[in-house]
Amino acid sequence: MLDVTSTWVEPSSTATALLLLGRGSDPATERGVECPGELPAPSDPDLVARATAAKAALGEKVFVLGHHYQRDEVIQFADVTGDSFKLAREAAARPDAEYIVFCGVHFMAESADILTSDAQKVILPDLAAGCSMADMAVLSQVETAWETLAELGVAAGTVPVTYMNSSADIKGFVGRNGGVVCTSSNAERALTWAFERGERVLFLPDQHLGRNTAVLEMGFDLADCVLYDPHKPGGGLTPEQLRDARMILWRGHCSVHGRFTLDSVDEVRERVPGVNVLVHPECRHEVVTAADQVGSTEYIIKTIEAAPAGSAWAIGTELNLVRRLANANPDKQIMFLDRAVCYCSTMNRIDLPHLVWALEELVAGRVPNQITVDPATAEHARTALDQMLALP
Ligand code: 13P
Ligand code: SF4
């Protein structure tokens, strides 16, 4: 059996520093959404017993969803695990669960609220669990971009497509303007649908998923893609660039997947001969181009499960998932693509104390941290989400 621990790297102080940085710098924290009420101490030896008891007391009334990037201490209480798309569908498929406790980030809980009935309440155990990528596209900025396209006379031929990792406001904008939501597993199908309806796409908010899908999966040229910077007038682009573009990529990225570099790929190939490099499409274009395989979180899991014993894999995605895959596949050599490992700091805000607190509040008859999307936004966002569900 291969020694997995020899290639496994625990979080470095850099990662810890990033974690701490994330706690203080997130827009959600700045909006003053610290967890209300008494949080149990992380050192409380009864946390597992308390979560178990609270969940048992709630019975069928509660359904706990856990994103693949969540900590093990939280995942052990998830009724189902999955990527953001699968979890939203799972929430929608549980009409009898009065409370959906979403162990993930804010945009995922919003999508669950949109897809569930009015009688169901979606709870995010820590309201400060946002997503830095989703925060990079703000509705007012996107409306300004759309006005610029309208002034140039090209908005009518442009179809907006947003990644699931965006706020309900952005999904609502996309729904109002004839577009579609996509995930990392159906981005190619969503873009094909969009190009049947327009000559160009405004892709929000992840430039990398947009570029990687258009260029590597659909045969577009890098020159067909332009990068729209919401902090510059006209996106920092000339009218000709905007008119000629096939893909207008929003200048957004994931702070976790954006850390992987071409050097990470070169370094691991040198260190581990024969290694397979498997990355998420939120990684930079040069990283995805140099990798052996690219795919969504679910694709990464399936690929590792199906891999032959003895094979070696360097995985470019979030640390909690890679570590769980390493533990579940001791006959394979699983390593993180970059030694300067990094958790998603916002995903990690959901820890066992927050989960225990949320469940015990529900047992006490109080609904903590409910996520609600206003009805008008929800209606348009649902149009864009339903369009995604209807993709051929
Ligand atoms: P998926 O959940 O669609 O795999 O996306 C990855 C991610 O970054 C989630 O925040
Ligand atoms: Fe957002 Fe990236 Fe974290 Fe996913 S991994 S929640 S995209 S910051």
Task: Please give the structure tokens belonging to residue 366.
Answer: 């109080």
Flag whether 383 is in a domain: no
The minimum-distance atom of ligand 2 relative to the CA of 105 is: 6
**Residues within a 6 A CB radius of ligand 1:** 83-85, 131, 164-165, 183-184, 254, 282, 296-297
Q: Which residues pair with 158 in a beta bridge?
A: 200
Residues 87 and 120 grouped into a single domain: yes
Q: Which residues pair with 249 in a beta bridge?
A: 203, 227
Residues 146 and 210 grouped into a single domain: yes
pLDDT of residue 34: 55
pLDDT of residue 245: 98
Contact 167, 110 (CB under 8 A): yes
Q: Which residue has the tokens 């945009």?
A: 107
Closest CA to 349 of 133, 102, 13: 102
Distance separating alpha carbons of residues 30 and 24, to the nearest angstrom: 8
Residues 102 and 176 grouped into a single domain: no
Q: The CATH number of the domain where 52 resides is what?
A: 3.40.50.10800
Residues 141 and 251 grouped into a single domain: yes
| CA distances (Å), origin 214, targets 190, 222, 225 | 11, 9, 8
pLDDT of residue 389: 87
What is the number of helices (H) and of strands (E) in the chain? 17, 13
Q: Is 103 annotated as a binding residue?
A: no
Residue 263 backbone zone (phi > 0: left; psi -120 to 50: alpha; other: beta): alpha
Flag whether 72 is in a domain: yes
d(CA 254, ligand 2 centre) in Å: 5
Q: How many domains does the chain have?
A: 3
Residues 203 and 307 grouped into a single domain: no
Q: Is 67 annotated as a binding residue?
A: yes
pLDDT of residue 262: 96
Contact 148, 235 (CB under 8 A): yes
Q: Which domain holds residue 251?
A: 134-255
Closest CA to 116 of 144, 143, 89: 89
Q: Is 354 annotated as a binding residue?
A: no
Q: Whose CA is nearest to atom 4 of ligand 1?
A: 297
pTM of the model: 0.90
Ligand 2 in reach of 255 Cβ (< 6 A): yes
Q: Which residue has the tokens 């200048």?
A: 251
- pLDDT in 10s for each residue of the chain, 392 residues: 223 333 444 433 333 333 333 333 344 444 345 555 689 999 999 999 999 999 999 999 999 999 999 999 999 999 999 988 888 788 888 888 999 999 999 999 999 999 999 999 999 999 999 999 999 999 999 999 999 999 999 999 999 999 999 999 999 999 999 999 999 989 999 999 999 999 999 999 999 999 999 999 999 999 999 999 999 999 999 999 999 999 999 999 999 999 999 999 999 999 999 999 999 999 999 999 999 999 999 999 999 999 999 999 999 999 999 999 999 999 999 999 998 767 899 999 999 999 999 999 999 999 999 999 999 999 999 999 999 989 98
Task: Please give the structure tokens belonging to residue 299.
Answer: 């694709």
Residues 246 and 143 grouped into a single domain: yes
d(CA 102, ligand 1 centre) in Å: 14
Residues 177 and 225 grouped into a single domain: yes
